[in-house]
Amino acid sequence: MVIASIKKMNKTFKNLICLLKNKLFGLVVSNRRGQSIAEFAVVTAMMSTFVSTAAPRLSSLMEEGKSQKSIQEIDKLVMQAKTFYENTAKHEGRGRLPGQDKFDMKVGSYADTTEAFNDLRIYDSYSNVSISSKWVSVFDNQNGDLFQMDQVTPDLDDEGNIQCNNCPKLREAGHVEWYNLFNKSMLESPFQDGHYIYVVIPGSGSGESFVAPRIIIADAENPMDLHKILDL
């Protein structure tokens, strides 16, 4: 809907500019024949007024179009995350989300949903470093000074202590798993400074008390408004 409005307004804008230019050219020719310059001034003023009033509206529509496109891309990421969870449940015995070593391990810095939601309410730009540092890049760590580096947690640390008990042996770093889900390609935000990021809230329990992990995917351009949540 927004994209259609942008195209329609663009066409109208171009048509009116063309019409005013033709009118202006006609007045210039007429003025050479000695006619009044008043009409010339009127048309010039009309062009100036039109540009000053139409340009902001066009700009606003373009931003809305980018937001709409970004949400569509986030929807694709959410659907692939769901597919990944279902496939790992089938092949590994317990579903997990991209970037997770195991269903009950977090991706990013949030151990519970409340903390993540509280941050989302004020997270309106990637430039909020204190919050950005809690998130992970979907496809790669292109902004190392902002987002976390995703990596596979070793089963054992250097001293032989267990770090990832019963984790799948063939798991890969999150951004690699995302690349594989999109056939070795990546989705790009329509915003110049946009970048897709995510966190996974760990699952817990077993049997009837089992709670599935939850993933939040956002565009770093404005995570507060541009995000989706997958509840499994």
Reported as a single tens digit per residue, the pLDDT across 165-212 is 788 887 888 999 999 999 998 899 999 888 999 999 999 998 889 999
Cα separations in angstroms, 92 against 135, 174, 192, 222: 26, 17, 39, 35
Q: How far is CA 10 from the centre of its chain?
A: 25
pLDDT higher at 93 or 16: 93
Provide CB contacts within 8 A for 11, sequence distance 6+. Answer: none
At 23, the amino acid letter reads K
Least confident interval from 52-61, 80-89, 141-150? 52-61
37 — alpha (psi -120 to 50), left (phi > 0) or beta? alpha
Helix 2-32 vs helix 38-92: angle between axes, to the nearest 10 degrees? 160
Per residue in 109-143, pLDDT tens? 999 999 999 999 999 998 899 999 999 999 875 55
List Cβ<8 Å contacts ≥24 apart for 2-7. 2/61, 2/64, 2/65, 2/68, 3/65, 3/68, 3/69, 5/61, 6/58, 6/61, 6/62, 6/65
pLDDT higher at 77 or 39: 77
Distance separating alpha carbons of residues 218 and 116, to the nearest angstrom: 12
Per residue in 10-33, pLDDT tens? 555 555 556 555 555 554 444 444
Q: In what order do the strands lie in the sheet with 196-201?
A: 136-137, 196-201, 214-219, 227-231
**Mean pLDDT within 32-61:** 60
- Give pLDDT, residue 167: 84
DSSP-based three-state secondary structure for 196: strand
Q: How confident is the model at residue 159 (pLDDT cuts 50, 70, 90)?
A: confident
pTM summary value? 0.75
Contact 86, 97 (CB under 8 A): no
Distance separating alpha carbons of residues 115 and 160, to the nearest angstrom: 32
- With a cut of 70, say whether residue 40 has pLDDT above it: no
